[in-house]
Amino acid sequence: MSATSPSSLFSDISSPTSGISPGRTGARHSFSAGPVDPNFFYELLPEYIDAVYPVNPVITADEVRTCIARMYSDEEALCFLYVFAAVTISLSHVDRGFDAKDQISSLLSSCFDHRKPLSHLNMPPSILRVMTSVFLEICLMNLSKPDLGHFYLNEAICQLAMLHIDDPAVMAALPHPERCRRERLYWECFIHERFSAVVHDRVVVLDPLPELPPYDPTIDYAICQGWVYTIRVFSTIDRDFVAYWLRHREPDPDELEDSQWRAEVSMLPAMQQADIIVTRQWLRTVLWQIAIRSMLLTTSGRSSPSAHTVSSSNSISLTLPLTLSHELKTFLSAFSYKEVGVHGSGILHKLFEIANAIVDVVLQLPDAKEEDTRERVRDLLFLKKLIFGFPRVERLHRRILEEKFELVRGLGWGAGEWGDGDGDGRNGDSVGRDGEGGWGEEGESRLGVRGLVELL
């Protein structure tokens, strides 16, 4: 619960710390399209608190409630509520029994209908307006509209400059909770921009703030800590890293190492752990791809997936993805689909990139000891179940992986085996933790290479 009450945040709408900036109540008649039932937004609040706020810790649940109270008199509040609903439906794991993409698209259209341009009459932009841009970007990315999503990310970044979050004098004049919140807003745009730089080959504008956000006692401690670790992971994508990616300069493989990382991250809630773990493994995969482009790989690394650490030498092994796949399986086996999939299309894209790199290595380096081969196939099976278990996997990604899994089946592994435990090799469908739909490896542990390959 925030120490700042909603009434203090919204009653004086000219305040620089308010959630809504001046000039938001307009005379546009687009409300005539029909009244919106406030209960629609209220019913989404639990999902927002569970799935959206921990990884977008800027607009609190109390502020959303205040927006609902103002929705018939303030278009900016209503505009935010539409995108609040869209992003909550987009990131939640609730099966609503209809095409979620159609409803998300409809909600975004309503958001755009009620959105007023930023002008000299409603400056500076509010925190609510900037987060509307960020949520628009998230939803558009999930709708496979990356160019338009990047447009609204840039819009959010441009508005940040008007808030002077990087100006110590301006920030010092704000109450501590509001200063922390604005810093979290800045870091959110920073994180999204870094992700876009790698996935969509975009240049970066934002520099990291001089310090990580301080502890904010008005929000949950685990959310604060999870946010700090997420920032640390994405801060490795500095301007040099982006230059490596865009211009194929020589990378340093030690940049992503942190001896305390596992112990610290393991203390976070499972949802935040899943996001940070996948992001970290994805960044290592990106670093490996940079090395491939620059012809900097060696063959001296350990090819066995049982290697639990990435070599700290000054070279990157060709077989690095095999190590990363085993680490990812070790980390994520205890998580449910909900805890992983709640992060939406971004985490699914990362998982696809990781899996695609792993399968490429397996196809290029098929010769290995029987036990190593068995572990490789088990890791591939885990990734297949993990990725294909999400209903929102892009069709292109699914098709690419299915074609490569077919190539793996064609390698003829285990052709000389007489049997595979229970015979038909189809025991890999057990339910995971708490019946939430896990990865089901109990049957696989009894299979030989041939039986495992048949499951691909």
Nearest to 384 by CA among 408, 419, 417: 408
- Residue 3 pLDDT level (bands cut at 50, 70, 90): very low
Residue 396 one-letter amino acid = L
**What pTM value is reported for the model?**
0.62
Find all residues with CB under 8 Å of 2, minimum gap 6, and list them.
Answer: 60, 62, 63, 177, 218, 219
Q: Quick check: is 244 in a domain?
A: no
- Both 220 and 343 in one domain: the answer is no
Per-residue pLDDT at 335 exceeds 90: no
pLDDT band at 316 (very low <50, low <70, confident <90, very high): low
Is 241 within the bounds of a domain? no
The answer to whether 354 and 401 have CB atoms below 8 angstroms apart is no
Q: Give residue 181's pLDDT band: very low, low, confident or very high (50, 70, 90).
A: very high
Domain count, the chain: 2
Residue with tokens 């990580």: 212
**Average pLDDT across the chain, whole number:** 74
pLDDT of residue 58: 95
> Are 270 and 210 in a shared domain?
no
Assigned domain for 245 exists = no
Please indicate, yes or no, whether residues 82 and 147 belong to a single structural domain of this protein: yes
Residues 136, 21 share a domain:
yes
Higher pLDDT residue, 249 or 146? Answer: 146
Strand segments (E) across 292-346 = 297-298, 316-317
Lowest mean pLDDT among 203-212, 235-244, 263-272, 388-397: 263-272
Q: Which of 172, 207, 235 is the last residue of a domain?
A: 235
pLDDT in tens, 45-95: 999 998 899 989 999 999 999 999 999 989 899 999 999 999 999 888 666
User: Residue 423 falls within a domain, yes or no?
Assistant: yes
Q: What proportion of the chain, given as a percentage, has pLDDT over 90?
A: 27
The CA distance from 187 to 94, in Å, is: 28
The contacts of residue 455 (CB under 8 Å, 6+ apart) are 381, 425, 426, 428, 444, 447
Q: Would you say residue 432 lies in a domain?
A: yes
Whether residues 426 and 452 fall in one domain: yes
Q: How confident is the model at residue 249 (pLDDT cuts 50, 70, 90)?
A: very low
Of 200-209, 282-291, 437-446, where does mean pLDDT reach its minimum? 437-446
Question: Which of 185, 209, 235 lies at the terminal end of a domain, its last residue?
Answer: 235
User: In terms of domains, do 168 and 107 share one?
Assistant: yes
390 plus 454 within the same structural domain:
yes
Q: Residue 414 — pLDDT band, cuts 50, 70, 90? A: low
Cα separation, 224 vs 34, in Å, equals: 39
Q: Is 240 part of any domain?
A: no
User: Which of 58, 101, 109, 107 minimizes the C-alpha distance to 86?
Assistant: 107
pLDDT over 60 (residue 37): yes
Claim to verify: residue 83 and residue 126 sit in the same structural domain: yes
As a whole number of Å, the end-to-end CA separation of the chain is 47
169: part of which helix (H) or strand (E)?
helix 168-172
- What would the pLDDT profile of 98-134 be if each residue is shown by its tens digit? 678 888 999 999 999 988 888 777 778 899 999 999 9
Give the pLDDT score at 373: 74
Q: At 97, is the pLDDT very low, low, confident or very high (cuts 50, 70, 90)?
A: low
Lowest mean pLDDT among 136-145, 332-341, 353-362: 332-341
Q: What are residue 298's DSSP bridge partners? A: 317
Q: Structure tokens of 332?
A: 């994520």
Q: Which two tokens stand for residue 334?
A: 């205890």
Nearest C-alpha neighbor of 75 from the set 120, 37, 20: 20
Q: φ, ψ for residue 230 (rounded to 5)?
A: -65, -40
Q: Which residues have a Cβ under 8 Å from the Cβ of 94 and sit 6 or more positions away?
A: 47
**Cα 72 to chain centroid, rounded:** 33
Q: What's the full length of the chain, in residues?
A: 456
Residues 176 and 143 in one domain: yes
Q: Measuring CA to CA, how many Å separate 270 from each of 4, 234, 276, 346?
A: 28, 19, 10, 17
Are residues 65 and 116 located together in one domain of the fold?
yes
What pLDDT digit, counting tens, does each position of 378-398 carry?
Answer: 888 888 888 887 777 788 888
Domain holding 373, by residue range, is 252-456
Q: How far is CA 135 from CA 87, 89, 272, in A?
A: 6, 12, 19
Select the more confidently predicted residue: 136 or 454. Answer: 136
User: Do 368 and 318 form a contact (C-beta atoms < 8 A)?
Assistant: no
Where does the pLDDT of residue 261 fall: very low under 50, low under 70, confident under 90, or very high at 90 and above? low
Domain final residue, candidates 179, 203, 235: 235
Does 310 have pLDDT greater than 90? no
Looking at the fold, whether 191 and 285 belong to one and the same domain comes out as no
Q: Does the structure show a pLDDT above 80 at 165?
A: yes
Could you tell me the pLDDT band of residue 199, with boundaries at 50, 70 and 90?
confident
265 vs 151 pLDDT, higher one: 151
Domain assignment present for residue 260? The answer is yes
pLDDT single digits (tens) 358-370: 888 888 775 666 6
The larger pLDDT score, comparing residue 14 to residue 203, is at 203
Residues 228-251 have a mean pLDDT of: 76
Residues 353 and 230 in one domain: no
Which among 171, 175, 245, 247 is positioned nearest to 209, based on CA atoms?
171
Instruction: Decide if 273 is inside a domain.
Output: yes
